[in-house]
Amino acid sequence: MTRWVWQMCRISMAFALVWAFPAASLWAIDLASVQQEPNLERRSQLAMDSANSALDTARTAYQANDLDKTRASLDEVGEAVSLAYTSLKQTGKEARRDPKFFKKTELATRQMLRRIEGMAEGMNFEDRSLVDKLRERVTAIHENLLQDIMAKKK
């Protein structure tokens, strides 16, 4: 009986690995494919996933002393966060009446700001200017999302 259980565990682990690798490749989404998504709410979520992936790439590139790739990845983060916000605005929904995706994006931008702060603290003082513009851009979008969600009725 124990041999059979062991064999089933091995089969289920192999099955899980087969399904895990295609799912992991979905995280590396480029911005061009995100813009092709017709569902605007889904597009905003994909854009935030792309921004997180680009921020990981920027951190890795900075640790490898590749400032050009770091700069390009940080620009991609800013573009992805902007795409997420504009996609939500294009839905035509009011954030106060239908806050689900607005709130998800607001939480994601807040988390991203924490990650950006952590990256900035790990950088040399001279290189922090790379992150400052991104921090300002994401902060502005975060504040706009909060304003949209918390605004009083008109």
Radius of gyration over every alpha carbon of the chain, rounded to an integer in angstroms: 19
d(CA 30, CA 32): 6
Residue from 56, 144, 150 nearest 96 by CA: 150
33 pLDDT band, cuts 50/70/90, is confident
Residue from 74, 25, 22 nearest 52 by CA: 74
25 pLDDT band, cuts 50/70/90, is very low
Q: Considering the chain, what percentage of its residues have pLDDT values greater than 90?
A: 65
Q: How many CA atoms lie within 13 A of 81 on its CB side?
A: 30
| Cβ neighbours for 39, distance < 8 A, ≥ 6 positions apart | none
Domain ranges across the chain = 28-150
115 pLDDT band, cuts 50/70/90, is very high
- Section 116-122 average pLDDT: 94
Indicate the average pLDDT of the chain: 85
CB 40 within 8 A of CB 87: yes
Chain centre distance of CA 90: 19
d(CA 25, CA 73): 18
Residue from 83, 15, 14 nearest 49 by CA: 83
- State the pLDDT at residue 1: 54
Q: What is the pTM of this model?
A: 0.78
- Section 121-147 average pLDDT: 93
